[in-house]
Structure 1
Amino acid sequence: MDRLLDIKNAITRHARDGLTPTALPGLSVMRTTRTNQPSGDVLEPAFALIAGGLKHTALGGEVYEYGPGEYLVATVDLPVVGNIIAADEDDPFMAVTLRLQPDRIASLLLDTGGPHRPAPAHSLSAFGVGHASPPLLDAIARLLALLDHPADLAALGAGVEREILWRLLTGPQGATIRQIGIADSRLAHLTRAVRWIRDHYSEPLRVPDLATTAAMSPSVFHRHFLTLTSMTPLEYQKQLRLNEARMRLLTGHHDVAEVGFSVGYSSPSQFSREYRRMFGTTPSHTASAPR
């Protein structure tokens, strides 16, 4: 836990209030003393270590809670609803986030042969939570320490990042992370469909067309998509729509019906009903909330 304290101290030195990019591309730190209400977000492929406070994330029908020394991994774009549930001046919420880049994972697998484990025969979830091992905490602490020395960061940062990826590949979520670096993996095929939905969330969705994009039959595609994202394709699209609608309402769009239409809803009543089910409040209440 001493290394976790080192990580917290480094975050305090380098984080402004909220999420703060660092000098190392793909590495961000976060610090806040405030809790917040549930809000929609899209997790991109990334690893995030929690160093202080507590957070909830809802994905599909599951709610995950994680705190100091725990980490989460997302391997595809995932629409979630999350909020910080414990943070104050004495114990801020703090986190470190590292983007998971396919080319770097592929390079590591090529150079090492990857962890010597058989490829799973079943589908894998794109989201996982686990406890960080002492070697993983040590590598993260050393990477953050390099931020205090730009010349050292330029020379050594890529090597320490590579070590972190190796610790993840050999950890509990390693089988899923490994798929990111394999160009012809099932995850790679499903990712094409996931990206299509994200880029065209307001358009009508046809599962047979998505299955063709993923080079699968409709039934196989539906099964693997559900396992990967904890949602059906239609549920995935709905959550993207509602997350986008909430963002628009919070940033000054006051015409609720117009917002609903803009994200793909043809029925204002259906939009309001599904929005309330997800966020626990009505679109009109969100639109009129003080900024």
Structure 2
Amino acid sequence: MNTMTHQIAVSQTQEFDQLRKQVAVRASAEGRTDSLYDGLRFYKFSQSIHYQKKQMLMPGIVVVLQGRKMALLQRETLTYDESNYLILGTETLCQGTVVTASENEPYLAIHLDLPINILVKAIANLVNQMPPTATKKIADNFTQSIDPNLINALGRLLAATDSLPDRQTIAPLIIEEIIVRLLRSDAGARIRDLAVISRSAMRIQDSIRFMQEQLHRPLSIADLAEQAAMSTSHYAHHFREVAGVTPMRYLRDLRLEKARNLLLYRGMRPNEAAYNSGFESIEHFNREFKRRYANTPTQYLVELRKISQF
């Protein structure tokens, strides 16, 4: 190994170690810890554990900083650790097992959802720049060798979530960088079928804008398909192909994200946040909020306030 190569390897190891320390500080409790930045969460387990409950996951990435995990995704079992990370190309049911963990060296991981609006925007912009071999989606979910650029970006992302101004301005830019790097890598060819994207990405991007503007009123799949000038079946199919989730799942998560922000930054009560986000009832809102954030709205705020000093 020459001097330059050695220096790069040392630098990459240092960045990985620094990211591990950042996660260890933030993942102070056992299990899941949500970040103040929506869609970013941390996991810590001090012993091997099997998830009995299946979770519906969004498109995203999981980077293990310490330990090893196995995940059952669509009848396929994938193993990932410090040498490779998990890429979720579509919403999927997950049943996981933390294989390697101990009190002295707990399992530590970052789970980052890839925001659908940024993902679709990047796909639309990059569709003509992706490798010509990227003509067919190979797998929805898979593992990829760890990328030093990803580790660097995640370190900057965590630092950018420490203050409200940075969360609102810098963090989304780093998320977009992560998505663009992912799509431009060899992994990008495995995530999306470009033949579908070239026909549908712009329409789906317009549909997402429409959803964002119309959250205050009831929207059905027929309403969304009509706005996109597509049949209901074609619209639902192409939305999932491009975005990785169903349109109604994405609409629900848009409303949850808005409600979360109203609770966190506007101080609204749960029933007020639910109403202002387009939910038809507080019961429906509470049920969906707990399904996504693993806590009731009230308890979720209590947990986030514990880490608000970051």
TM-score by length of 2: 0.55
Q: Please say if residues 105 and 178 of structure 1, whose CA atoms lie closer than 8 Å, have aligned partners that are also in contact.
A: no
CA offset digits 1:208-233 (Å, max 9, x no partner)? xxxx9469xxxxxxxxx9xx9xxxxx
Aligned equivalents of 1:69, 1:7: Cα separation in 2: 14
* Structure 2: gaps (5+ residues): 1-12, 205-231, 236-240, 245-310
| 1:1-291 superposed matches below 5 A | 1-15=13-27, 16-37=29-50, 39=52, 40-111=54-125, 115-118=129-132, 120-178=134-192, 182=197, 184=200, 213=233
Q: Secondary structure at the match of 1:153?
A: helix
Aligned equivalents of 1:163, 1:171: Cα separation in 2: 12
Q: Please say if residues 136 and 189 of structure 2, whose CA atoms lie closer than 8 Å, have aligned partners that are also in contact.
A: no
Aligned equivalents of 2:141, 2:75: Cα separation in 1: 13
Aligned equivalents of 1:126, 1:113: Cα separation in 2: 18
Q: Please say if residues 51 and 69 of structure 1, whose CA atoms lie closer than 8 Å, have aligned partners that are also in contact.
A: no
Aligned-pair identity (%): 22
TM-score by length of 1: 0.58
**Which amino acid is 1:27 matched to?**
L
Aligned equivalents of 1:102, 1:119: Cα separation in 2: 24
Q: Secondary structure at the match of 2:49?
A: coil
Q: Please say if residues 134 and 193 of structure 2, whose CA atoms lie closer than 8 Å, have aligned partners that are also in contact.
A: no
Q: Secondary structure at the match of 1:88?
A: coil
CA offset digits 1:49-74 (Å, max 9, x no partner)? 11111101123553221111421111
Q: Secondary structure at the match of 1:116?
A: coil
Following superposition, the deviation at residue 143 of structure 1 comes to 0.6
What do you get for the CA RMSD once the two structures are aligned?
Answer: 3.6
Aligned equivalents of 1:155, 1:2: Cα separation in 2: 27
Aligned equivalents of 1:155, 1:44: Cα separation in 2: 23
1:268 aligned residue: none
CA offset digits 1:178-234 (Å, max 9, x no partner)? 55994837xx9xxxxxxxxxxxxxxxxxxxxxxx9469xxxxxxxxx9xx9xxxxxx
Following superposition, the deviation at residue 9 of structure 1 comes to 1.1
Following superposition, the deviation at residue 113 of structure 1 comes to 5.4
Structure 1 pair 53–115 and aligned structure 2 pair: CA distance change class (3 A): farther
Question: Between Structure 1 and Structure 2, how many residues are aligned?
Answer: 198
Aligned equivalents of 2:20, 2:116: Cα separation in 1: 28
Q: Please say if residues 80 and 143 of structure 2, whose CA atoms lie closer than 8 Å, have aligned partners that are also in contact.
A: yes
Structure 1 pair 60–28 and aligned structure 2 pair: CA distance change class (3 A): closer
* Structure 1: gaps (5+ residues): 189-211, 216-224, 229-291
Following superposition, the deviation at residue 175 of structure 1 comes to 2.2
Q: Secondary structure at the match of 1:138?
A: helix
Aligned equivalents of 1:149, 1:179: Cα separation in 2: 38
